[in-house]
Structure 1
Amino acid sequence: MIGVELFAGPGGLGHAAELANIRTIGIEWDPNAVATRVAAGLATIHGDVTKYGPADVPGQMLTGGPPCQTFTGAGKGEGRRELALVIEGVKKVAARQPVDRTEFADPRTPLVLEPLRWTVEAIDLSRPYQAIVLEQVREALPVWEAYADMLRLEGYSVATGVLATEQYGLPQTRKRAVLIARLVGDAVLPAPTHRPYRKGVPQHEGDPALLPWVSMGEALDRPQPFTVISNYGTGGDPKNRGQRTSAEPAFTVTGKISRFRILDGDGNETRFSHSEAGVLQGFPADWPWSGADIAQQIGNACPVTLGVPLIKAAIEASPAAGQDQAPTTQAA
């Protein structure tokens, strides 16, 4: 199976696919992310996703994480305010009708429609994708739910929901809206492997059937315990910074992770290196980060540790008939 990765970034879903034994080719417009991908040996087309289609880049699996800036709660919210317009766009794409991108306040918002465009074009070429994996910030879940309605009409089984990344072994708390679609078999979201993080609840407590969540101290090679002071203001007061110790998972990694202050027991202050920030996002410590804006590359990437179970759920055999199965639409 060959996968096509849209909005490929520095290789989050691409490396996850490799770990699941899937060869992929990614399309990415940012030259910095392209430099990282090339250095990592990932097949890459440096170009605009909107200028290509499945006739140009064929494959049996489609993955992608469209730009999230207009949907995330940390941004200005153009995508959230235009959600009705986005969902109308989903219906138009599914009906093979044109979408007027100039109707959107931010040109990045309608990019969330691109995976569906690729999907219906592949169907019309009689080369439908066997599996689809998409991820976005949790605020975009209604978009994936609208996708699900349209994909089911095309014969896909679809699962959507919001997943907590620390429940899949990532040393970071991060919520992602995901979609898995399968042309054959039942689509089911991957079951959590680790316990959810709860402030003040010890790591060893919780469901004994699940592994403990992973802390920053366990993931990073630092000689002594430390405290992270985030760049996020809390309670509406930008001076009231959030804090976590190395015995906890990291705050959500964004392009501003270079602003995180790290204090050790002796009062020394440092910052996360690119390697460390990448590890918190699930990349190997030796991932060859290249080009400029590396912190932004890392923050924009799909966490590798989440990507692997998503891809495996999309391509592996579905539960046997008669066994208990998860519902085709889930929310966490």
Structure 2
Amino acid sequence: MTSSAPHHSVLDKPFVLDLFAGPGGLDVAGHVLDIPSLGIEWDKSACLTRYAAGLDTLHADVSSVRRDAFESLPPEINVLAGGPPCQTYSVAGGGAGRKALEEVKGYIERLMAGDSDEEIDKELKKLSDPRTALVLEPLRYAIQATRSPNRGNRPYDVIVLEQVPAVEALWHHYALVLENTGLPDGTKYEVVVDVLDTETYGVPQTRSRAVLIARREGLGEPALPAPTHRAYEAKEWSRGNDRSAAQIHQPTLDGESAPEPRKRREEDGELEHWTSMAEALAGPVGAHPGRKVPFLVRSNYGSSGHPGRRGVRTDQQPAATVTGRISRFVVFEHLDDNIVYEGSRFSMNEAGMLQSFPPDYPWSGTAQAQQVGNAVPPLFGAHLLSAALGLPAPAPHALRTPWQPATEEQRAKLRSQGCGAADDCTARCPRPQDQAPPRSVSLPRKKKTSPR
């Protein structure tokens, strides 16, 4: 079921708590919708980006805040949102989370039954990759809200979650217990779950995400956001479909052939065409000078596990999934029909724009490509929040205006609130060594034996 652009919010004053907030994808979405938010993020560089962008932030570990500082959170927060780290569930990761799906479902059941947090924490430490357990944190926050004197034991009204497609099974299990079992205090929710493609919401990038939207019983049946743009299908697309042959006659790279011609499908109806890389990057805006077209992009990374979405794309297609490897994407520019040469790779500003961040978003700190790749595409996030709250869909060009960064005074104030000091981290901030992912364990290779 999808939303049909309702006319008023289901909440009078929505206020979002963004768990695992990253550099600010959902918070930027909230900004576009005029919805306040507070993000919790433990990566120092992502927090520096957030401070520079003027976003309210706690530089903290999500689990630690729940255990030790939940009562310090603003009591008026009524929307819980977040995208737990995906490395252990992503097809690009080691797969520890995918292997532990059934085990994690068991922990969901136990949390809803009111089992001891301390006992569950002891057992979660035994997981091969502790990041796998972070997918439970939104549920644990929902439960903790009903036990919070500062909130008057009031549950969250709306929950919005997104993750890689491999987590869809867990979101369905979330839905099962939220609808049928309810939180330990008896609060129940109505829930919808599905896997959505970001290009169908105007993001100039193909990226699939497992989404959960829940509303507390009595606030109306939730719905997924209705798509605004056509889905991108590589096999149905043709370079000649968007430009004349003289304009787009291009050589292929490494012997790759062009996709089959795209045919308009009846079910596309009045949906807009997907947003291409050229639409996002060709024109000058803010400090972005505009990128010369036509160009080809070769990705060394697939898109949401779909092999058909990887490889070479032209500027008339959406980008492949933007990940931490976006800085490695090779851009080829054209001299004539027979010669290509390597042009400049995407800047962080351009990479952010392919994620639908506004131009001039103030990427800061280190590992900026990883920040960009880990973020929720803000335009997609705006569609999710709009559907969850019953608001009209955001305008397609809502995020095309250059972002106005925080002043030095504003940035210092935000960091004082989030870290404890205007220009430095303090003892309350997560330690850098605690942020390193666990080392993968290499199994000894089996010796090859010659057949007798």
**TM-score under structure 2 length normalisation:** 0.67
- Return 280-289 or 120-129, whichever deviates more: 120-129
Q: Deviations over 1:226-267 (max 9, x none)?
A: 000111279xxxxxx711111101000100111100000131
Which residue number corresponds to residue 218 of structure 1?
279
Alignment pair present for 1:272 and 2:272 = no
Alignment pair present for 1:38 and 2:51 = yes
Aligned-partner Cα distance in 1 for 2:280–2:36: 27
Counterparts in 2 of 1:317 and 1:279: CA distance versus 1, 3 Å = closer
Aligned-partner Cα distance in 1 for 2:200–2:293: 25
CA contact (8 A) 1:93 1:113 kept: no
CA contact (8 A) 2:326 2:373 kept: yes
Aligned-partner Cα distance in 2 for 1:223–1:130: 47
Alignment pair present for 1:306 and 2:324 = no
Q: Deviations over 1:99-145 (max 9, x none)?
A: 22122110111001000000011123321111111100011101111
CA contact (8 A) 1:185 1:317 kept: no
The correspondence for 2:370, drawn from 292, 296, 305, is 296
SS at match of 1:13: helix
Q: Unmatched 5+ residue regions in structure 2?
A: 1-13, 243-262, 283-290, 304-309, 336-340, 393-452
Query: Rg: which structure is higher?
Result: 2
Aligned-partner Cα distance in 1 for 2:299–2:344: 13
The correspondence for 1:94, drawn from 106, 112, 126, is 112
**TM-score under structure 1 length normalisation:** 0.90
SS at match of 1:158: strand
Which residue number corresponds to residue 121 of structure 1?
144
SS at match of 2:320: coil
SS at match of 2:27: helix
Counterparts in 2 of 1:150 and 1:3: CA distance versus 1, 3 Å = same
The correspondence for 2:172, drawn from 135, 142, 145, is 145
Aligned-partner Cα distance in 2 for 1:110–1:51: 13
| Residue pairs, 1:316-327, within 5 angstroms | 316=390
Aligned-partner Cα distance in 2 for 1:45–1:124: 21
The runs of at least 4 aligned residues of structure 1 exceeding 4 Å deviation read: none
Aligned-partner Cα distance in 2 for 1:159–1:109: 23
> Which amino acid is 1:29 matched to?
W
> Which amino acid is 2:19 matched to?
L
CA contact (8 A) 2:349 2:359 kept: yes
Which residue number corresponds to residue 196 of structure 1?
231
> Which amino acid is 2:322 matched to?
V
CA contact (8 A) 2:30 2:36 kept: yes
The correspondence for 1:29, drawn from 39, 42, 46, is 42
Aligned-partner Cα distance in 1 for 2:275–2:293: 17
SS at match of 1:52: helix
> Which amino acid is 1:205 matched to?
R
CA contact (8 A) 2:52 2:362 kept: yes
Aligned-partner Cα distance in 2 for 1:39–1:74: 30
> Which amino acid is 2:47 matched to?
V
Q: Unmatched 5+ residue regions in structure 1?
A: 235-240, 319-332
Which residue number corresponds to residue 27 of structure 2?
14
Aligned-partner Cα distance in 1 for 2:54–2:373: 21
Q: Deviations over 1:4-59 (max 9, x none)?
A: 11000000011111112210010000000000000000000000000113433131
| Residue pairs, 1:213-292, within 5 angstroms | 213-221=274-282, 222-232=291-301, 242-266=311-335, 267-292=341-366
CA contact (8 A) 1:167 1:194 kept: yes
CA contact (8 A) 1:55 1:122 kept: no
CA contact (8 A) 2:302 2:321 kept: no
SS at match of 1:73: coil
As a proportion of its length, which structure holds more strand? Answer: 1
Counterparts in 2 of 1:317 and 1:291: CA distance versus 1, 3 Å = closer
The percent of aligned pairs where both chains have the same amino acid is 49
| Residue pairs, 1:171-190, within 5 angstroms | 171-183=204-216, 184-190=219-225
Aligned-partner Cα distance in 1 for 2:17–2:105: 24
Number of residues of Structure 1 aligned to a counterpart in Structure 2: 313
- Return 55-64 or 170-179, whichever deviates more: 55-64
CA contact (8 A) 2:82 2:160 kept: yes
The correspondence for 1:56, drawn from 66, 72, 76, is 72
SS at match of 1:103: coil
Which residue number corresponds to residue 199 of structure 2?
166
How much has 1:205 moved relative to structure 2? Answer: 2.8
